[in-house]
Amino acid sequence: MPDQEPLIDDRPTKPAIWRGLCRRCPNCGEGLMFDGYLKVANTCPVCQEELFHHRADDGPAYLTILLVAHVIGFTIHFMWVQFRPEPLVMATVLTVGAVGLSLYLLPRLKGMVVGIQWARRMHGFGHSA
pLDDT digits (tens, 9 = 90+) for 87-123: 999 999 999 999 999 999 999 999 999 999 999 999 8
pLDDT at 107: 98
**Separation CA 5–CA 90 (nearest Å):** 60
Burial class (CB in 10 A: 0-12, 13-18, 19+), 118: buried
Label residue 129 by pLDDT band (50, 70, 90): very low
Q: Strand pairing partners for 40?
A: 34
Contact 106, 65 (CB under 8 A): no
pTM for this predicted structure: 0.88
Q: Is 27 helix (H, G, I), strand (E, B) or coil?
A: coil
Residue 20: closest CA among 98, 102, 120 = 120
